[in-house]
Chains A and B, each alone.
Chain A
Amino acid sequence: MNFYKMENTKLHLLLADDDIDDCDFFKDAIDEISDIGELTILNNGVELMKFLVSDPEVHPNVIFLDLNMPKKSGMECISEIKASHALSHIPIIIYSTSLDHTVVNTLYELGAHHYIQKPAEFGSIKSVIRKVVALLGASTLQPRSRDNFIIQP
């Protein structure tokens, strides 16, 4: 059964990032935006994959995925998730420091839904999360498109 229905149930967000500071910023931002839902934080790719396969019933609504992680990079994770029949439906939003066009294009090809460059202003972190929640809250998730692939704060 699915605990997280889109309309009136709280969301389950998942952040995979090895940077403790960034995790804290993200968590603070979620906390400050009232009543979004549950946040799971994992600190590397291996942990993320373990989490996703351990309980097939409990899947997050969305994964925020950092690229530079020890043990297993974000790039490896997205390839594995999109290759798995059970997991490929989960939307993935890249959450990274850099914004290299070649890398951005590669990720779009790999199946990422959106790309967010980690904002410098704390306020901006909140605003990008709000935008993502708004996109997920819509009746159906919009299909991917290159035009609005990058979410600006």
Chain B
Amino acid sequence: MVIKNKTYHFLEGSGEMGQLIRAKDWSQTPLGHPDSWPESLQTMVSVMLNNPFGMYIAWGKEYTQLYNDGYRPILADNKHPQALGTGAKESFPEIWDIIEPMFDGVMEGNPIGFTDFMLPLNRNGKIEKCYFDFAYSPIKMSNGEVGGVLVTTIETTHKKKAEDALRENKNELEFVIDTAQLGTFDYNPATHKFSANTRLKTWFGLPTDEQIELNHALDVIVKEDKERVLKAITKVLKDSSGSFDIEYSILTSDSIKPSVVHAKGRAWFNEENVAYRLTGTLEDVTNRVWERKKIEESERLLRLMILQAPVAIAIMRGADYRVEIVNKLALEIWGRTEEQVLNKPIFEAMPELLSQGIKTFIDDVAKTGNRFSTPEMPVEFSIKGELQMVYINFSFEALYDSEGKINGIMAIGVDVTPQVEARKKVEESEQNIRALVNSAPFPIGVFAGEEMRITLANQSIMDAWGKGYDVVGKLYTEILPELGNQQIFDQIRKVLNTGIPFHAKNQRIEIELNGVLDVFYYNYNFTPLIDASGHVYAVMNTAADITGLHEAKQKVEESEKRFRDTVKQAPLGIVIFRGPEHVVEMANENYLQLINKKEDEFVGKPLFETLPEVKEVMAARIADLYKSGKSFYGYEFPISLNRYGTTETGYYNFVYHPLKENNTISGVMVVATEVTATVKAKHLIEENEEKLKLIIEASELGVYDVNLKSGKIVASKRCYEILGFPENTHLTHKDIINHLHPDDLIIRKKAFEKAYANGVLHYQSRVVWKDHSLHWIDAKGKMFYDEENQPHRLLGTVREITEERTFQQQLLEREEKFRLLADSMPQHVWTSDPEGNLNYFNQSVFDFSGLTPEQVIEEGWIQIVHPDDWEENLKQWTNAVRTGNDFLLEHRFRKHNGEYRWQLSRAIPQKDAEGNIKMWVGSSTDIQEQKMFTTELENMVQLRTNELEEKNLDLEKINKELQSFVYISSHDLQEPLRKIQTFSSRILETEYETLSINAKKYFNRMQKSAYRMQNLIQDLIAYSRTNVQELTFEAVDLSEIIEDLKETLSEEFEENNVTLKLHNICTIHAIPVQFKQIMHNLISNSIKFGKTGHPVVIEINCEKVAASSLAIGSLPDYQNFYHISYSDNGIGFEPDYNEKIFEVFQRLHSKDEYSGTGIGLAIVKRIVENHEGVILANGTLNEGAKFDIYLPAE
């Protein structure tokens, strides 16, 4: 049977639970009939039923449950409605072990709260993980005991699930970063924890599944870089404007070579400007850095090469030819130190060059790029203050940058001063010799060339010829035509041609003197003159009068010596040996050098005695030569010789030539030259060719050579492999064509047509192998033409590019995939080229706008945007494209039905490894709903703000009015009152005696009334003043205030025998004037309400207490408070009045019993509240009053 509860106001409330609670027969529950419910429970139930949030009460020892509509879903249908009125343990057996201790704690006065607290609730027979924000607070009863637990709760299961989903999202993001080949990191400076993605951890050799200390990650950085990285991290965590951008090397324990990584990041700062996070990315740049180092190394090598070159080199740059590099030899020539010239304009460092025309040469080279060079240029350099002449062979070369512009000059020079000087000496001595020859006592003449031009003729020869003295420069044949039929000319020509000197003794010569032929007898010689290249350029004629035989003999000897010298001067090695022992008769310097022997070791000795190592090769050949009389030629003939302390094989070109005397071979002349270097170079070339062949074979390239006329193919093995004939080696052109993919035949045909026209063949096609697999090849070739300009030969390479082609194919497929993906997205997606021209829109753009792709491309995408947004849109987009910053804009797009909807558009530039923007990818998201909501919200906030402002103005006005009222009160009310007092004091002074006893009594009372009214007015003013916000809080020493008051109230203290006991006195934080007022009013009260006949004893104590230790409900939110306790031994008051006594005009006694206006304590309370403090009164009748003041300590 259901007993309907009669109507209780606290059970009023809408909803299901209101009805159920009202309908419940509570007398059957531990709570009993609602009549008997404690007041606090009644209040709380009323609050609960009117609250939209989930609330739940567990009352009493049994934790009898009441709850509202908001809480009801938590219980689900399996617990509700049985839970109402039953104990919590019955309803929640599955979690009772968790919540019981909490409830017990609350019953002891300890509230508790949780966020996202998980409870495995049995809902509809199924255990579900549910998350709640909970607060369990005690419900206090009037006696101060805790009567029950109030649970306020919000279910956060959905929020929690959303967070989990977010975390999953983050994982997805990490996957994307991972595929982008980047390492990412996230460092928390507060905890020193360092987390990173898998890639980075792999690079760093870190465990993959945990956060680690930063130091552990830094261990991997190579020693040289570690400090630099640490510094960079410290810097970026201090400076909120800086960014983290650093390259360094890492070496993990299991890698051999260090890798170079490029880390980029930024720190995140909170409001206090303290960094709380450092995030960023890491890129492996080892290869890039390695390339860079290679370039640097090659530059360094070049520089080193220049510096160590055996010729003087200097490089100059810029318009003023600043010396950039100069090597030691150049410095030696210049007579300068490196400091004097390096990085200085050359003409500033060596001003002496300016007057020598050098600048003109350099300017010309810098302008035209034409090389300038000059031999034996005399240049004066200022060396130690003195000009010194130096002869240099030098050249200026223009240096070019990568764009072909001249960016410098290289000067190369060789100091040839010693040579030039030596030559000058030679020239000088030649002149001396010429003079000597001229004055020689025997005839000397030199006839140059086939024409026999006289280049030299001494006095003696001209005397002998008798043709005058103007002969030099004329032809021998013209001067002495009479010698033509005396074989003289032939003799000379023979000498010229053969190089073999001609001797004649006792020769009869007819010379025409004055038209008559005279006969002379001469011994004479025709000697060939050989120039440096071994060529006979002239014939020297010496002669002697036969009368002087001795003289003649001397001439012969001299001539022979000259011959030998000539032989010896020859550039070829020449040796002559005679006799069966091959005794060396003569060897020239070149030959001696060839065999590395000195003349005295070799000449005059048998050949094979000195050179035993050649006997084996040469003995037989020499013997043959003696037998046959035929010369023996050797070409690149290898001979082992003991030279320079070792036996080495040299290569020689030589002639063994028989020397005949009277038709018998008496000796051999050998003319030899060493060609070892040439032969070795040739061998090297052959070797290189061999190597090249090997390389081609080892490489992936196939090489082929086709004879186009015969169709014969010579091809490398690899070539056949690529074409799919690993077994075959000889194939015709036709065989190959048959294996080409039929679809590609046309490609090949066209390529060949082109090749016949321009000589270059290139095509890519597929070949079908025997196993029917398809392979891509890249064939290149060059045509060669015969004399009739017909192509007869094709030389080229074949490369397999199947893999490359596959990659390309995959790339195309991927792009197709992206397009499919983008088209299926509900968001608008678009891309743009780096210049900001939009070049792709996904399907969603067309669906939304109702436009065709052609319309968007032809008429521009801007037509989709609301015209009012055009200007801002174009401005932002241009700006983004120009700066490379992200594009972010809210604008409206026109839907196909004409409706405009708000979109949030965002575009991010895609950059390549060098940071150049390759494209922009943008998206636009419909934010119409959010935008509308935000606008409405903003309007509402604005409305509220306006209302508040109006209210504030009103309040200020009222406040001002109040102020003027107070002023008027203080002045105008006091004035008549004061006059009453003055007049009465006049009467008392002058007319007192004439007053009747009654009049005197009335008079006295009138004065008292006036006095009381004056006090009343003054107190009222004081009370109203405390309202004024004077926020000058200071440190106030309590004892000083009390000393001050003692003085002010000294009369009262004396009259009433007051004792002040100060215990712990501290310095507090208060408005001094106001706080003084508090103490004044309290002490005045204590004196006023002292027990008659008893001395007044006041005790004051002050201490600092923690807010948590205080059990005062209305305490404001501060951590610490000053607790000032004030007590006296006066008449006190009943505890019922503990609160009432603070009300204005509240008096507990009649005016006649105790004087006072009833405002004093109201002022005290108001001041305490001004300080955000609390004052509590605690009276005990006849035992005294106690006041506890709590003021915030901060």
| Residues of chain A whose beta carbon lies under 8 Å from any beta carbon of chain B | 19, 21-22, 25, 28, 68, 96-100, 118-123, 125
Contact = CB atoms under 8 A, between A and B. Distances in A.
Contacts of B979: 21-22
Given A100-B967, A100-B970, A120 B975 contact: no
B985 A121 contact: yes
Contact of A121 (B971, B974, B977, B981): B981
15 contacts: A21-B982, A25-B986, A28-B986, A68-B971, A97-B971, A97-B975, A98-B970, A100-B970, A118-B978, A119-B982, A120-B982, A120-B985, A122-B982, A122-B985, A123-B989
Contact of B975 (A19, A28, A99): A19
Nearest to B986: A122
Nearest to B974: A97
B1014 interface: yes
Given A118-B978, A121-B982, 6 more contacts: A21-B982, A22-B979, A28-B986, A97-B974, A98-B974, A120-B978
Contacts of B985: 120-123
A121 B967 CA distance: 23
A122 B989 contact: yes
Contacts of B970: 98-100
Contacts of A97: 971, 974-975, 978
- Interface centre among B982, B986, B1014, by most chain A C-beta atoms within 10 angstroms, is B982
A102 to B, nearest CB: 9
A97 B1014 CA distance: 12
Contacts of B1010: 120
Nearest to B975: A97
A118 B976 CA distance: 12
Q: Which 7 A-B pairs have the closest CB atoms?
A: A120-B981, A98-B971, A122-B985, A121-B985, A120-B978, A97-B975, A122-B986
B967 A120 contact: no
A106 to B, nearest CB: 13
Contacts of A125: 982
A99 B986 CA distance: 23
Nearest to A123: B985
A96 B972 CA distance: 11
Interface residues of B, number: 15
Given A98-B971, A100-B970, A125-B982, A120 B989 contact: no
Contacts of A123: 985, 989
Contacts of B974: 97-98
Nearest to B969: A98
A33 to B, nearest CB: 14
A138 B891 CA distance: 86
A119 to B, nearest CB: 8
Interface of B: 967, 970-971, 974-975, 977-979, 981-982, 985-986, 989, 1010, 1014
A68 B975 CA distance: 11
A151 B928 CA distance: 75
Contacts of B981: 120-121
Contacts of A119: 978, 982
B989 to A, nearest CB: 6
B1014 A120 contact: yes
Nearest to B971: A98
B979 to A, nearest CB: 5
A129 B967 CA distance: 26
Contacts of B978: 97, 118-120
Contacts of A122: 982, 985-986, 989
A103 B194 CA distance: 67
Contacts of A120: 977-978, 981-982, 985, 1010, 1014
Contacts of A99: 970
B806 to A, nearest CB: 94
Contacts of A28: 986
Most buried by B among A22, A97, A119, A125: A97
A127 to B, nearest CB: 12
A121 B985 CA distance: 6
Contacts of A96: 971
A26 to B, nearest CB: 11
Nearest to B989: A122
A21 B862 CA distance: 89
Contacts of A121: 981-982, 985
Contacts of B989: 122-123
Contacts of A68: 971
A23 to B, nearest CB: 12
A139 B978 CA distance: 35
A120 B989 CA distance: 14
A81 to B, nearest CB: 22
Contacts of A98: 967, 970-971, 974
A122 B971 CA distance: 19
B331 to A, nearest CB: 87
Nearest to B990: A122
B1074 to A, nearest CB: 13
Nearest to B978: A120
A119 B983 CA distance: 12
B210 to A, nearest CB: 69
Contacts of A25: 982, 986
A121 to B, nearest CB: 5
A99 B977 CA distance: 15
Contacts of B977: 120
A118 B982 CA distance: 10
A22 B975 CA distance: 10
A121 B984 CA distance: 8
A116 to B, nearest CB: 13
Nearest to A21: B979
A125 B985 CA distance: 11
Nearest to A121: B985
Nearest to A25: B982
A97 to B, nearest CB: 5
B1019 to A, nearest CB: 14
A39 to B, nearest CB: 18
A28 B986 CA distance: 10
A73 B167 CA distance: 77
A68 B1010 CA distance: 23
A120 B971 CA distance: 13
A92 B363 CA distance: 98
A128 to B, nearest CB: 13
A141 to B, nearest CB: 29
Nearest to B1018: A99
Nearest to B967: A100
Contacts of B967: 98, 100
A100 B1017 CA distance: 13
A19 B971 CA distance: 13
A145 to B, nearest CB: 20
A151 to B, nearest CB: 16
A125 B978 CA distance: 12
A21 B980 CA distance: 11
Interface centre among A68, A98, A125 (most CB of B within 10 A): A98
A100 B1024 CA distance: 13
A24 to B, nearest CB: 10
A122 B979 CA distance: 10
A119 B986 CA distance: 13
B977 to A, nearest CB: 8
Contacts of A100: 967, 970
A122 to B, nearest CB: 5
A101 B304 CA distance: 92
B81 to A, nearest CB: 67
A126 to B, nearest CB: 10
A99 B1014 CA distance: 13
Nearest to B968: A98
B1160 to A, nearest CB: 19
Contacts of B971: 68, 96-98
A98 B977 CA distance: 12
A125 B970 CA distance: 20
Contacts of A118: 978
A88 B989 CA distance: 39
- Which of the listed residues B967, B970, B978 has the most CB atoms from chain A within 10 Å of its own CB? B978
A50 to B, nearest CB: 26
